[in-house]
Amino acid sequence: MNHAKQIHAHALRCGAHHETYLVLDLLLRIPNLQYAHRLLDSLVNPPSTFLYNKLLRAYSVSSVNYQVCLSIFSSMLRNRSVHRPTFIPSPF
Protein backbone atom coordinates (compact mmCIF):
# COMPACT_ATOMS: atom_id res chain seq x y z
CA MET A 1 0.00 0.00 0.00
CA ASN A 2 2.88 2.35 0.73
CA HIS A 3 4.09 2.16 -2.90
CA ALA A 4 0.61 3.04 -4.17
CA LYS A 5 0.42 6.08 -1.92
CA GLN A 6 3.89 7.19 -3.03
CA ILE A 7 2.92 6.96 -6.71
CA HIS A 8 -0.31 8.84 -6.08
CA ALA A 9 1.50 11.54 -4.07
CA HIS A 10 4.13 11.92 -6.78
CA ALA A 11 1.42 12.32 -9.43
CA LEU A 12 -0.24 15.01 -7.30
CA ARG A 13 3.05 16.88 -6.83
CA CYS A 14 3.86 16.75 -10.54
CA GLY A 15 0.40 17.89 -11.57
CA ALA A 16 -0.29 14.60 -13.33
CA HIS A 17 -3.30 13.82 -11.14
CA HIS A 18 -5.55 15.06 -13.95
CA GLU A 19 -4.14 12.28 -16.10
CA THR A 20 -6.44 9.68 -14.59
CA TYR A 21 -5.39 6.99 -17.03
CA LEU A 22 -1.71 7.44 -16.14
CA VAL A 23 -2.27 7.36 -12.39
CA LEU A 24 -4.63 4.38 -12.53
CA ASP A 25 -2.32 2.50 -14.91
CA LEU A 26 0.56 2.93 -12.48
CA LEU A 27 -1.54 1.94 -9.49
CA LEU A 28 -2.88 -1.18 -11.21
CA ARG A 29 0.67 -2.49 -11.48
CA ILE A 30 0.85 -2.69 -7.70
CA PRO A 31 -0.47 -5.87 -6.06
CA ASN A 32 -2.85 -3.93 -3.77
CA LEU A 33 -5.77 -3.14 -6.08
CA GLN A 34 -8.01 -1.77 -3.34
CA TYR A 35 -6.23 1.59 -3.41
CA ALA A 36 -6.63 1.86 -7.19
CA HIS A 37 -10.30 0.93 -6.80
CA ARG A 38 -10.82 3.66 -4.19
CA LEU A 39 -9.07 6.16 -6.45
CA LEU A 40 -11.41 5.28 -9.31
CA ASP A 41 -14.43 5.61 -7.02
CA SER A 42 -13.26 9.02 -5.79
CA LEU A 43 -13.03 10.66 -9.21
CA VAL A 44 -15.12 13.80 -9.64
CA ASN A 45 -15.97 12.88 -13.21
CA PRO A 46 -17.43 9.42 -13.68
CA PRO A 47 -14.81 6.93 -14.85
CA SER A 48 -14.81 5.98 -18.51
CA THR A 49 -15.55 2.50 -19.80
CA PHE A 50 -11.85 2.18 -20.54
CA LEU A 51 -10.88 2.82 -16.90
CA TYR A 52 -13.51 0.39 -15.64
CA ASN A 53 -12.16 -2.25 -18.01
CA LYS A 54 -8.58 -1.62 -16.83
CA LEU A 55 -9.69 -2.19 -13.25
CA LEU A 56 -11.72 -5.28 -14.18
CA ARG A 57 -8.76 -6.74 -16.05
CA ALA A 58 -6.43 -6.17 -13.11
CA TYR A 59 -8.86 -7.80 -10.70
CA SER A 60 -9.56 -10.71 -13.07
CA VAL A 61 -5.90 -11.77 -13.18
CA SER A 62 -5.47 -11.37 -9.42
CA SER A 63 -6.49 -13.91 -6.82
CA VAL A 64 -9.44 -11.82 -5.64
CA ASN A 65 -12.93 -13.25 -5.27
CA TYR A 66 -14.92 -13.10 -8.54
CA GLN A 67 -17.73 -11.26 -6.71
CA VAL A 68 -15.54 -8.15 -6.58
CA CYS A 69 -15.32 -8.21 -10.40
CA LEU A 70 -19.08 -8.63 -10.66
CA SER A 71 -19.60 -5.71 -8.29
CA ILE A 72 -17.34 -3.45 -10.38
CA PHE A 73 -19.09 -4.56 -13.57
CA SER A 74 -22.48 -3.77 -11.98
CA SER A 75 -21.19 -0.32 -10.98
CA MET A 76 -20.11 0.25 -14.55
CA LEU A 77 -23.59 -0.64 -15.82
CA ARG A 78 -25.24 1.69 -13.29
CA ASN A 79 -23.01 4.58 -14.36
CA ARG A 80 -24.97 6.29 -17.12
CA SER A 81 -21.94 8.02 -18.61
CA VAL A 82 -20.28 4.83 -19.78
CA HIS A 83 -21.18 2.92 -22.90
CA ARG A 84 -23.18 -0.18 -22.24
CA PRO A 85 -21.11 -3.18 -23.31
CA THR A 86 -22.31 -5.14 -26.28
CA PHE A 87 -20.12 -8.08 -25.30
CA ILE A 88 -18.38 -9.48 -22.24
CA PRO A 89 -14.86 -8.01 -22.04
CA SER A 90 -12.09 -10.54 -22.36
CA PRO A 91 -9.64 -10.78 -19.47
CA PHE A 92 -6.78 -11.23 -21.96
> How many separate domains does the chain show?
1
Side-chain half-sphere exposure of 64, counting CA atoms within 13 A: 20
DSSP classification of residue 90: P
Residue 85 falls inside a structural domain: no
pLDDT at residue 23, as a whole number: 61
**Residue with more model confidence, 70 or 65:** 70
Cα 53 versus chain centre, distance: 8
User: What pTM value is reported for the model?
Assistant: 0.58
Question: What is the span of the domain harbouring residue 31?
Answer: 2-78
Residue 52 falls inside a structural domain: yes
> Alpha helices of the chain — where are they, by DSSP H?
2-14, 20-28, 33-41, 49-60, 66-78
